A and B are shown apart, each in its own frame.
Chain A
Amino acid sequence: MVWTRKDLLGLEHLSKEEIKFILSTAESFKEVSKREIKKVPALRGKTVVNLFYEPSTRTRVSFEVAAKRLSADVINISAESSSIKKGEALIDTGKNIQALKADIIILRHNCSGAAVLLAQNVDLSVVNAGDGWHEHPTQALLDIFTLHEKFGRIEGLNISIVGDISHSRVARSNIWGLTKLGAKVTICAPQILIPPAIEEMGVSLTSDLDDALKNADAVNVLRMQFERDEQKAFPSQIEYFKNFGITQDRLKKAKKNILVMHPGPLNRGIEISSEVADGNHSVILEQVTNGIAVRMAVLFLVAQGREKK
């Protein structure tokens, strides 16, 4: 297939073929990071701008490493240290970056839909690195890439996503991506952190962690975002850990070789025990490594897509 999109805004509107194409492109880029000289000239002469309105280390660094391994020039702009703080509108910021003749903007933003808004208003490529509670497509792609690496397939897998679904862009992107590729997705969260009508996205629901783990081939553990809990729905972190924390004891009731994933950063002792995070079910650090290959693939493809336009 030929990639024709200039942007990657989310997985909801991608076809199954497009998702598979990104994954197979990522596979070929994974080898680059194993070389002694970890660089290919695929994006030489291109400028990639990391535009981050929310604090982020892992995603930003991952994109930066990915862009550099493709030989692109990378510029980092964070809201704290720019005219964004002076009230510049997102579209204006985007147009200014365009005027600098940059090629790709990687946008992290606290408002859902920000990447869509930016992409509609600039000619350069926009890669969504997380917008509000909406989507975080590269995180889901790297999760799916990791699953595919381990199981050799996605179709027919039982994947449980545990944690604060309401406020999670990672959950949404994973749901779209996994269901499109034929996995069975179960959502497990306290009632108050399950958004309405989520079944219509093609998932099953439970508030019982044992139930969610029972048949799961993998469990994706979301970070409990206490800082976003506006209604103070959760009285205590201990209570959350008791009911929804992934521990060795819990995993005893699960499939023997269940994979444990986490998008990071970890809250040890809140949503996951240290034992599990560092144990042999965990693929958390492999996810980080795979993130480079997936993001290299995405940057490479959107740059191509833009040239086609």
Chain B
Amino acid sequence: MKILIKNGHIIDPANNVDEVRDILVENGKIIKVAKMIKEAAEKTIDASAKLVLPGIVDMHVHLREPGREDKETILTGTKAAAKGGVTSVLAMPNTEPAIDSPEAISLLKAAIAKTNLANVFICAAITKGRMGKELTNILKLKKQGAIAISDDGASVDNRALFLKALKIAKEKKVLVISHCEDKSLSGSGVINLGIMSTRLGLRGISKESEYKRVERDIQLADKVGARLHIAHVSCKESVEIIAKAKKRGLNISAETAPHYFCFIDEDIFGFNTNLKVNPPLRSKDDSLAIKQGLKSGVIDVIASDHAPHTQNEKDIEFDRAEFGAIGLETELSASISQLLEAGLLDWKELVRKLSLNPARILGLDKGTLGVGRDADIVIISADKEWVIKKESIASKSTNSPFIGKKLKGLVEHTICNGEVVYKHE
């Protein structure tokens, strides 16, 4: 099937395009990008006054399948992705059971094959059962289809073990993604350690618990010359440590999630458990450092860390509620509202953070609108505002910190592999 996207303003930093063009899509690929394409197509989308961007590549998503289908499934998760303009996701391995064997990957692949709403890529575990004791067979996991490894949700505490993982990952060319948290420091904390933990009488999570581990993991990566991706950076010190490492020429990349630049710990004054995330929302100062880190390029990627939890796990005492917030449906609008509107990033830079950079880090041929590339495209009304309503959330879970908030930038169409997978009604 041919789809012709007419008169859209295309933002494609990979090809340095920032102007009105038509795009012709056929058999899942972009076959032509030009002014005034006249060819006939089965479907024409009028994108006048709209922006046309490469589909978002979200490299940090919890789809919960297998094991916690009450929170999310691959189908509901990719539905949420399509609604948010996300055409590729990296599924994290902290499922039940964890994705730590070739068998687990084949089962997961079979489930993924049933959805065409988004491309789902697999991140496998670094250690068996994500227990931090014994390495998985990284080469076999890669051969079976994993494109990255992470024990996300936990850090590999054992230095020697993590070093070994980095070594093997380097050899086998697999990306290591590090969840940086020293559990002996974060303990049973539930909120950033500081004035807010004091005011609310909640156990605090120090910033040291994050940045000391960022420091350690970078040191270890440096030791063996491995690539390393730091997940969900939340604090100023982590940004500074990553900046230094990059300056020294180390092959480090880093991501943050929209909640770290849209909210701060002070927003938890009413004990809203949808703001309970890990790492926790930090101070205003940290949030500013995250924004500056995005602007300066220290932070390469915006990823949602989409972490669905059921209402039963969130509508309870703050101490007992699960960590995590959903984010697939709001990450683009949140980034537009907080970063673009504030002049911190321009459109090209925003597309780099959301699409091009994560695609490159993951080694995917995505994140661009070049001729011959996969037709993963999102068409948005950049100036349209919308209010996030619980009832209209596509994810199976509704634990969004943005409920009731107004965001700018509305996804009109999402096209994944040449098919329209979402259309705003």
Contacts and interface: CB of A to CB of B under 8 A. Distances in A.
B113 to A, nearest CB: 38
A112 B200 contact: yes
A41 to B, nearest CB: 36
B198 A112 contact: no
A132 B201 contact: yes
A112 B318 contact: yes
Interface stretch (A21-29, A194-202, A205-213, A286-294): A194-202
B319 A112 contact: yes
B194 A132 contact: no
Given A90-B316, A111-B319, A197 B200 contact: no
Bin chain B's interface residue count: 10 to 19
Contact of A90 (B201, B204, B317): B317
A201 B199 contact: yes
B16 interface: no
A222 to B, nearest CB: 14
A116 B270 CA distance: 7
A12 B316 CA distance: 22
A90 to B, nearest CB: 6
Given A117-B271, A134-B200, A135-B201, A111 B320 contact: yes
A108 to B, nearest CB: 13
Contacts of B200: 112-113, 134
B69 interface: no
Interface in B293-316: 312, 315-316
B194 A197 contact: yes
Residue of A90, A109, A196, A201 with most chain B CB atoms under a 10 A cut-off: A196
Contacts of A196: 193-195, 197-198, 204
B317 A114 contact: yes
Interface in B305-347: 312, 315-320
A197 B320 contact: no
A116 B319 CA distance: 13
B199 A12 contact: yes
B312 A197 contact: no
Contacts of B194: 196-197
A195 B320 contact: no
Nearest to A13: B269
A184 interface: no
A111 B195 contact: no
B202 interface: yes
A197 B195 contact: yes
A133 interface: yes
Contacts of A91: 315-316
Contact of A134 (B193, B201, B312): B201
A134 B194 CA distance: 14
Most buried by B among A90, A109, A195: A195
A172 interface: yes
A89 interface: yes
A169 interface: yes
A111 B317 contact: yes
Contacts of B201: 112, 131-135, 169, 172
**Candidate in A12, A112, A195, A201 with the most chain B CB atoms within 10 angstroms:** A112
B199 A109 contact: no
A90 B314 CA distance: 12
A132 B195 contact: no
A12 B197 CA distance: 14
A132 B197 CA distance: 12
Interface string A115-144: 011001100000000011111000000000
Interface string B177-198: 0000000000000000111011
A113 B202 contact: yes
Nearest to A197: B195
A185 B197 CA distance: 20
A150 to B, nearest CB: 28
Given A12-B199, A196-B204, A116 B315 contact: no
A159 B284 CA distance: 32
Nearest to B312: A89
Contact of A117 (B197, B204, B316): B316
Interface in A212-253: none
Interface string B216-245: 000000000000000000000000000000
Question: Could you say which of B195, B204, B271 has the most chain A C-beta atoms within 10 Å of its C-beta?
Answer: B271
A16 B321 CA distance: 33
A80 to B, nearest CB: 18
Given A196-B194, A196-B195, A197-B194, A112 B315 contact: no
Contacts of B199: 12, 172, 201
B197 A113 contact: no
A109 B317 CA distance: 10
A60 to B, nearest CB: 20
A12 B312 CA distance: 28
6 closest A-B pairs (Cβ-Cβ)? Answer: A133-B201, A113-B271, A134-B201, A111-B317, A197-B195, A195-B198
16 contacts: A91-B315, A111-B317, A116-B270, A117-B315, A117-B317, A117-B318, A132-B319, A133-B201, A135-B201, A195-B198, A196-B193, A196-B195, A196-B204, A197-B194, A197-B198, A201-B199
Interface of A: 12, 89-91, 109, 111-114, 116-117, 120-121, 131-135, 169, 172, 195-198, 200-201
